[in-house]
């Protein structure tokens, strides 16, 4: 399957309200003279690399609740996470933030890097895996919420059981098994380790032998192997190294019981299919197509993955 394009309908820098742009320029200490929109990612707000009159650079994310009611809260969550991250974790540093109750803005270090190629080539996959090994060995700040509290992956099948409308009949026939796997996933994903949980190819920049992780809105405390599993899932969705061989060889996942890994994949099947049955939210016209594709890829992997068959 060819992965669909994952992208929101981004607004240009000039469409951000003047008072918000003024706050950004004040925080940078110099007027913005150019702003280049970055593509990819599920946000309808502005995502721009800016250059200021004094030559300084930054990356700015800005969204108002009139564009999408949920994105400002995700920006707030990312601000909290970035304020807590240790410097040992490769990430774009938060330079400043702005929140007027409607518009929420992050002004970040402009990372000199490139997006990984898709499908993932072996070299980019290896760099990404090495970065995730560092994340897996990092104790999460205690102020971060748990993985179970942060994501809906561990409750998606409960929502389907309560309201099955629009779900494929084949999945509903397997609901008891999915609910049992969900219970297992709740048990095995707890932990004290830092979890990014959004490390797709469009949330990464590769530079000088390391991968810099962007978009920390879903940061949490959980099992050390969650991000490495999600990377393997991205290989399955967008193409890349064999995900089963990758999990079998990774120092992060090779000793994790396969049924534990499969339980989270089952949760992802439920999460993506449950979301895909709803109309697209404002400013995110491609997200349901992406979720439907991801759910189908996750289901196929769950049923055919050599690691847990």
pLDDT in tens, 57-66: 999 999 999 9
CA 285 to chain centroid: 18
pLDDT > 90? residue 254: yes
pLDDT in tens, 32-55: 999 999 977 778 899 999 999 999
Residues of the chain with CATH 3.90.1200.10: 122-304
pLDDT in tens, 16-32: 999 999 999 999 999 99
22, HSE (Cβ side, Cα atoms, 13 Å): 4
Residues 6 or more apart whose CB falls under 8 angstroms from that of 309 comprise none
pLDDT at 41: 74
pLDDT at 40: 74
Distance CA 29, CA 140 (A): 33
Assign 285 a pLDDT band (cuts: 50, 70, 90). Answer: confident
- Helix, strand, coil shares, percent, the chain, to 5: 45, 15, 40
Q: Nearest-CA neighbor of 38 among 50, 27, 49, 29?
A: 49
State pTM to two decimals.
0.95
Return the CATH number of the domain spanning residue range 122-304. Answer: 3.90.1200.10
Assign 283 a pLDDT band (cuts: 50, 70, 90). Answer: confident
Residues of the chain with CATH 3.30.200.20: 13-108
- Assign domain 13-108 one CATH number from 3.30.200.20, 2.60.40.10, 3.30.465.10, 3.20.20.370: 3.30.200.20
């Amino acid at each position: 399957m060819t992965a669909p394009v994952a992208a929101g309908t981004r607004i240009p820098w000039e469409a951000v309200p003047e008072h918000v742009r003024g706050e950004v320029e004040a925080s940078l200490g110099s007027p913005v003279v150019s702003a280049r929109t970055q593509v990819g990612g599920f946000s309808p707000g502005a995502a721009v690399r800016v250059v200021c009159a004094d030559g300084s650079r930054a990356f700015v994310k800005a969204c108002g609740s009139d564009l999408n009611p949920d994105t400002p809260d995700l920006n707030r969550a990312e601000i909290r996470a970035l304020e807590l991250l240790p410097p040992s974790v490769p990430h774009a540093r938060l330079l400043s933030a702005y929140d007027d109750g409607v518009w929420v803005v992050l002004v970040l270090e402009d990372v000199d890097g490139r997006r990984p190629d898709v499908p993932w080539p072996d070299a980019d996959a290896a760099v990404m895996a090495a970065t995730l090994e560092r994340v897996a060995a990092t104790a999460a700040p205690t102020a971060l919420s748990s993985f179970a509290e942060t994501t809906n992956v561990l409750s998606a099948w409960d929502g389907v059981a309560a309201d099955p409308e629009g779900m494929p009949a084949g999945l509903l026939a397997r609901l008891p098994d999915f609910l049992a796997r969900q219970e297992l996933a709740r048990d095995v994903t707890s932990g004290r380790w830092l979890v990014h949980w959004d490390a797709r190819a469009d949330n990464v920049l590769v530079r000088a032998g390391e991968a810099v992780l962007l978009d920390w809105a879903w940061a949490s405390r959980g099992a050390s192997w969650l991000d490495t599993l999600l990377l393997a899932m991205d290989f399955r969705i967008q193409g890349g190294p064999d995900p089963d061989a990758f999990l079998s060889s990774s120092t992060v996942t090779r000793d994790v019981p396969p049924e534990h890994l499969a339980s989270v994949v089952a949760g992802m099947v439920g999460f993506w299919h449950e979301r895909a049955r709803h109309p697209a939210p404002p400013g995110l016209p491609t997200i349901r197509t992406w979720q439907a594709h991801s759910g189908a890829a996750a289901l196929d992997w769950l049923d055919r993955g050599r690691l847990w068959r």
